[in-house]
């Protein structure tokens, strides 16, 4: 069961000499060999590099050097986070030969902490999707039921952690792409406040919405990873220069007297009965822990989905214009002139969902339609943010479901984009308002994990973590794992 232990527990064991980083990394590599041919969580596995990094961590520990709690811990990175010398594909044919000449700020920070990159995780192409079925290379499957999706777009990252193929992972969250797959895979996932974590080296989807965050096995691990990836970065103009607290320090303070808002709009039409029941049970647990829970209203919630798809698609059409076959990435063959090369490169290189969003975004920004669509969506964005501002005048955090359903069957929604988009209906408003939010496991429906979402004020990640930790310690759902073949330490 080593591969299901948390980072903080493994750090304790390594510190006592009970296990080495080499053993931990070896077990996880063995786990990938056993399971990933079925699950498809990884695009690239860095076996030799990971083992070399693990040996380096062990050597530093033998020399008595002061090490980070994450030193020697194997991690996965979503494959839209740049890694110098290691392919970064965004799960797209147009970038299948791209090897970045630089690393993302978050990867640099985790390297300095001694983390071991074990591989790059699969995703929906350019992070556009909710099921990880839009990858150009493979479909990722849910470790709890391989006939189901893991969620998306960070489905590979969430599946890797849930299946014991990485101790933690990083994902990106534009409209729920960390929290939704974390909920569907039964792990912890956090989207920090916009600007809290540098986006330098994150391949852009929608620049005003994207944010990098951790996917972990429990809340304490989430706090540990946040301690290392948060902080100002001058290379990112949207990075906010604010103090980074020790997120682990206040976890055990409890939530007695904490005011929690329960949005009525998150329990209406579209939510599965089992999901609703698990979330309501979780709210009772929070009340028993001393929190004061009251119903609140976020009246513009119903407009968040259309506003999001206009804003995000408009930004995507602009960001993805750079993939033209000239500067880097794939170039089509057999073209007759420059325009034909553009057309062939982009037609062959992008998948169906990416093309759909490029066309939608280009239309929304076009002359004669900008005011009717993009400008109107930005006005709605302001109204949604004002809803949250009003609610937070009377409460400390907001709690509700992360997703309206449990993980759905692979192929079930691929022909109905609207139904696919609705799986992010409770996560999207958070990105529109730039707020922090966290999903933790809160039980099961149909034998599949259900996620509980905690939403906070800007830069109030510590409050969210404290509330989530109190709930987690009172329930223990984070200790439940999907059944899969165990790797033995003797098999390394």
Poorest-confidence range of 189-203, 231-245, 406-420?
Answer: 406-420
Domain holding 33: CATH number? 3.90.1300.10
Instruction: With beta carbons less than 8 A apart as the criterion, state whether 433 and 208 touch.
Output: no
- The answer to the question of residue 242 being in a domain is no
Give which of 295, 271, 284 is closest to 471, Cα–Cα: 284
- The answer to the question of residue 243 being in a domain is no
DSSP labels, 30-83: HHHHHHHHHH--EEEE-HHHHHHHHHHHHHHHHTT----TTTT-EEEEETTB-B
Tokens 């995000």 sit on residue: 312
Output the pLDDT for position 66: 94
Q: Is 207 a catalytic residue?
A: no
The structure's pTM equals 0.96
DSSP labels, 94-147: GGTT---SS--HHHHHHHHTT-EEEEEE--SGGG--SSS---SS----BTTBTT
Tokens 């020790």 sit on residue: 246
Q: Does residue 227 surpass a pLDDT of 50?
A: yes
- To the nearest 10°, report the CA torsion of 69, 186, 275, 475: -50
Instruction: With beta carbons less than 8 A apart as the criterion, state whether 102 and 82 touch.
Output: yes
Q: How far apart are the first and last CA of the chain?
A: 14
Average the pLDDT over 299-323 and give the result: 96
**Quick one: how far is CA 247 from the chain centroid?**
18
Calculate the average pLDDT of the chain.
Answer: 95
Q: Does residue 327 surpass a pLDDT of 90?
A: no
Q: Is 237 a catalytic residue?
A: no
**Angle ∠(76,74,133) on CA atoms, nearest 5:** 25
CA distances from 322 to 78, 286, 416, 469 (A): 21, 48, 29, 42
- The answer to the question of residue 104 being in a domain is yes
* Angle (deg, nearest 10), helices 461-475 and 273-288: 100
pLDDT classification of 485: cutoffs 50, 70, 90 = very low
User: Residues 343, 346, 352, 357: is their CA dihedral positive or negative?
Assistant: negative
Q: What is the number of domains present in the chain?
A: 1
Q: Residue 203 belongs to what domain range? A: 1-237+251-484
Q: Does residue 468 surpass a pLDDT of 90?
A: yes
Residue of 53, 71, 131, 153 marked catalytic: 153
- The answer to the question of residue 244 being in a domain is no
Residue of 53, 71, 78, 239 marked catalytic: 78
pLDDT, tens digit (0-9, with 9 covering 90-100), for 59-104: 999 999 999 999 999 999 999 999 999 999 999 999 999 999 999 9
- The answer to the question of residue 489 being in a domain is no
pLDDT classification of 488: cutoffs 50, 70, 90 = very low
Instruction: With beta carbons less than 8 A apart as the criterion, state whether 251 and 223 touch.
Output: yes
pLDDT, tens digit (0-9, with 9 covering 90-100), for 333-344: 999 999 999 999
- The answer to the question of residue 430 being in a domain is yes
pLDDT, tens digit (0-9, with 9 covering 90-100), for 108-139: 999 999 999 999 999 999 999 999 999 999 99
Residue of 177, 312, 313, 317 marked catalytic: 177
Q: How deeply is 293 buried, as exposed, middle or buried, from its count of CB atoms within 10 A (0-12, 13-18, 19+)?
A: middle
CB atoms within 10 A of CB 394: 10
Q: Is 177 a catalytic residue?
A: yes
- The answer to the question of residue 219 being in a domain is yes
- The answer to the question of residue 492 being in a domain is no
């Amino acid at each position: 069961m080593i591969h299901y232990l948390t980072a903080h527990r493994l750090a304790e064991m390594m510190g006592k000499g009970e296990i080495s980083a080499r053993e931990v990394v070896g077990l996880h590599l063995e786990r990938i060999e056993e399971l990933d041919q079925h699950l498809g969580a990884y695009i690239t596995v860095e076996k030799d590099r990971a083992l070399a990094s693990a040996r380096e961590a062990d050597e530093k520990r033998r020399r008595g050097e002061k090490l980070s709690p994450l030193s020697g811990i194997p991690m996965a990175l979503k494959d839209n986070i740049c890694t110098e010398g290691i392919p970064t594909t965004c799960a797209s044919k147009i970038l299948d030969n791209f090897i970045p000449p630089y690393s993302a700020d978050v990867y640099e920070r985790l390297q300095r902490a001694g983390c071991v990159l074990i591989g790059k995780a699969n995703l929906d192409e350019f992070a556009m999707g909710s099921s990880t079925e839009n990858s150009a290379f493979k479909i990722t499957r849910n470790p709890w039921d391989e006939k189901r999706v893991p969620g998306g777009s960070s489905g590979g990252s969430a599946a890797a952690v849930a299946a014991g193929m990485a101790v933690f992972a990083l994902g990106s969250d534009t409209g729920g792409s960390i929290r939704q797959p974390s909920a569907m895979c039964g792990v912890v996932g956090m989207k920090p406040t916009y600007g809290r974590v540098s986006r330098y080296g994150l391949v852009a989807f929608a620049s005003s919405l994207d944010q990098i965050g951790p996917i972990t096995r429990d809340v304490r691990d989430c706090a540990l990873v946040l301690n290392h990836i948060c902080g100002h970065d001058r290379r990112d103009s949207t990075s906010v220069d604010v103090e980074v607290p020790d997120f682990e320090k206040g976890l055990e303070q409890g939530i007695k007297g904490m005011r929690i808002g329960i949005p009525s709009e998150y329990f209406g039409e579209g939510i599965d009965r089992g999901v609703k029941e698990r979330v309501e049970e979780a709210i009772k647990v929070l009340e028993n822990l001393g929190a004061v829970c009251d119903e609140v209203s976020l009246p513009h919630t119903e407009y968040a989905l259309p506003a999001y798809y206009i804003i995000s698609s408009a930004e995507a059409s602009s960001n993805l214009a750079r993939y033209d076959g000239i500067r880097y990435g794939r170039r089509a063959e057999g073209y007759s002139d420059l325009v034909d090369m553009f057309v062939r490169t982009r037609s062959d290189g992008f998948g169906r969902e990416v093309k759909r969003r490029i066309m939608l975004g280009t239309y929304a920004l076009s002359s004669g339609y900008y005011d009717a669509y993009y400008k109107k969506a930005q006005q709605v964005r302001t109204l949604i943010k004002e809803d949250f501002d009003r609610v937070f005048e009377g409460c400390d955090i907001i709690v509700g479901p992360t997703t309206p359903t449990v993980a759905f069957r692979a192929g079930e929604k691929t022909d109905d984009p609207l139904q696919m988009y609705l799986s992010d209906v409770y996560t999207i408003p958070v990105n529109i308002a730039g707020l922090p939010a966290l999903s933790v496991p809160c039980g099961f429906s149909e034998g599949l994990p259900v996620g509980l979402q905690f939403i906070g004020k800007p830069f109030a990640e510590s409050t969210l973590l404290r509330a989530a930790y109190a709930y987690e310690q009172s329930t223990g759902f984070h200790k439940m794992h999907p059944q899969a073949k165990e790797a033995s330490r003797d098999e390394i």
